[in-house]
Each structure stands twice: as C-alpha cells, then as structure tokens.
Amino acid sequence: MTPFRSRANVLVSIAPLVLCVADQGAGRDPLTDAAKIANALTAAPPAVSRNASVVEMNDDGSMKMLRRGTGDWTCVPDDPSTPGDDPMCLDPNAMEWLHAYMTKAAPPDKVGFIYMLKGGWDFSNTDPFATQPENGQPTITGPHVMIVGPAVKSLPGYDRTGEGVDTAVPYVMWKDTPYEHLMIPVR
C-alpha cells in the first residue's frame, strides 16, 4: 500500500469521527472552504500545518476533504457547536486515538500528539462523554498541545485534580479513563 493510499484509508476510516461539522451552528454565518482551511491551519505551527490535509464533517457524517496535504498531519477547523474557536492538528497516532475515543473503543497502544494552539473548550475535565458542563462550568483551556495514548497513565508528577484544575500548568484530562491525556499549555 502506498503512503498516500494508507493516509487516505485512515482519513476515510475516521470520517464519522472528526469533531467538526459543516453546520456552522446557530448565530454563526457559514464559512467558505478557504476560511475553514485558514482556521484549521492556525491550530499548529506553520512547519506542521503547511503540508497537512484539512478535513471537516458534513451534516450526514461524510467527510469533506477541504485540502489534500502531502504530510502526515491532519487539521480540522473549529467545531462550530462549541462557543470557543478550537481547531486542531493531529498526527497519525492521534487520529487513531481520536477514532478509539469517538467509537468508545480501547485506544491504540501508541503515543500521539495534537496541537490546539487556539485553545479548547470541553464540557468536562473528568468525563470524556459529558454533554453539559459539570456545575455549570466548562473546562476552557488556552493554547496547548496534547499527548494522547495509554502511556500517559505512566507519567508521574502531573496534576490529576480533575474538575477545577489549574489549566495554566500541565495536567491530565479525563483521568482514570482509557482516554486520559496530558494537556500542556504553551503560553
């Protein structure tokens, strides 16, 4: 299998899993594909994002390739269903981890890396499948990178507080779940 075909197969297999949908949500004007691509590329340093593929999800769950890249990274524009601007760029292992998370499967025994240099917004710091903020307070993080995969469980010394964690220092999100990952602020 060629490297391109392998990347294409990974992208097709995660089509129902990418966090961004084409519907721009209530109160937001629809963005052009060029604007979505520009947004997605802000998630990582240019050295990473310049050759990345950019994908988004359509309302029916199919994947729309906004830009086919030549590198191994995949960037996703802002998820319009959340209040924050939260594009991301994922390496191939992180894409596999995302697939496992979205299907509630065991994550691969691989370390993956995700850039979210515009920050992020989550309903919960402890429950990966929460649909509302706990105690009415979402977890809002500034620019950060994430290390994902089961190896995170073996990293000592990181804050594992859960809800109410200080997001200005490295901490573990979704602790004691198969999807726990290390959040590392970059500013």
Under a CB-based contact definition with an 8 Å cutoff, are residues 82 and 93 in contact? no
* Identity of residue 33: D
CB atoms within 10 A of CB 59: 8
User: What total number of domains does the chain contain?
Assistant: 1
The CA-CA-CA angle for residues 76, 148, 51, to 5°, reads 35
pLDDT tens figures, 134-173: 777 788 889 999 999 988 888 888 988 887 888 899 999 9
- pLDDT higher than 70, residue 28: no
CB atoms within 10 A of CB 82: 17
Residue 94: closest CA among 19, 175, 176: 19
pTM: 0.80
Give the bridge partners for 63, in sequence order: 57
What is the pLDDT at residue 186?
94
What is the pLDDT at residue 135?
77
Determine the structural domain holding residue 162 and report its residue range.
Answer: 3-185
Give 119's pLDDT tier (boundaries 50, 70, 90).
very high
Give 63's pLDDT tier (boundaries 50, 70, 90).
low
DSSP state of 141: E
Q: Using CA atoms, how far apart are residues 187 and 100, in angstroms rounded to an integer? A: 29
What is the pLDDT at residue 139?
82
